[in-house]
Structure 1
Amino acid sequence: MNRPEKGMQFAKNIKVIDWLKTDMLNQIANLFKGLYYANRHILIDSLSSLIVSTYILARRMGLSFRELDQAIIDKLREHKNEGHQLEQWYGDLSSLEEYMNKR
């Protein structure tokens, strides 16, 4: 690959990263609308879109899906060990960690 092609690829990657960031902001706005209207379809759609965009953004930034999964599991364990309230009140962190480990 010659120099101009590398530059074009870099510029394209930056553009995709910016697009993903704006898409994530849009999905957060949609999530808030779903919460406001108590609309299950909007909630599921916006949350799933956020997760997909997060994984793709990580990949565009040079991280693998596996690395992101492991970082999530590590973060869950860290929060559990620190006595996070969601774990104390509902056991949410343990439930998510168990789910991710079974995948």
Structure 2
Amino acid sequence: MSRPERNVQIAKSVKVIEWLKTELLDQIANLFKGLHHANQTLIADSLASLIIVTYVLARRVGLTFREVDQSVTRKLREHARGKHQLEDWYGDLSRLEEYINKR
């Protein structure tokens, strides 16, 4: 790859990362709107978009999907055993870990 082509690729990568960051913010705003209006469809759509953007952003910065999954699983395990309030009150973290492990 020639130097000008490489520079174009770098610029394109930076632009995509910046776009993904704005997409994260946009979806968080949509999630808050959905929560405010109790709109289940908007809430589900925003959460799904946030998950997708997170995986794609991770890939763009050099992580694999597997690495993200492993980090999520490790974090869930740490929080569940560390007596995180969501785990103590509702068991959410161990349930999510169980769900992910069964997929």
Task: Give the TM bin, normalised by the shorter chain.
Answer: over 0.9
* Separation of aligned partners in 2, 1:19 and 1:98: 33
* Separation of aligned partners in 2, 1:85 and 1:39: 26
Per the alignment, residue 91 of structure 1 pairs with 91
Q: CA deviation at 1:41?
A: 0.4
Length, aligned pairs only: 103
- Which 5+ residue runs of structure 1 have no aligned equivalent? none
* Separation of aligned partners in 1, 2:3 and 2:81: 49
* Separation of aligned partners in 2, 1:10 and 1:102: 38
Per the alignment, residue 29 of structure 2 pairs with 29
Per the alignment, residue 3 of structure 1 pairs with 3
CA RMSD of aligned residues (A): 0.5
CA displacement, residues 53-96 of structure 1 (integer Å, 9 cap, x when unaligned): 00000000000000000000000011112100100111100011
CA displacement, residues 26-48 of structure 1 (integer Å, 9 cap, x when unaligned): 00000000000000000001000
Equivalent residues in 2 for 1:1-103, closer than 5 Å: 1-103=1-103
Q: Which amino acid aligns with 1:25?
A: L
* Separation of aligned partners in 1, 2:68 and 2:4: 32
Runs of 4+ in 1 over 4 A off after TM superposition: none
Secondary structure of the residue that 1:15 maps to in structure 2? helix
CA displacement, residues 4-30 of structure 1 (integer Å, 9 cap, x when unaligned): 111111110000000000011000000
> TM-score w.r.t. structure 1 length?
0.98
> TM-score w.r.t. structure 2 length?
0.98
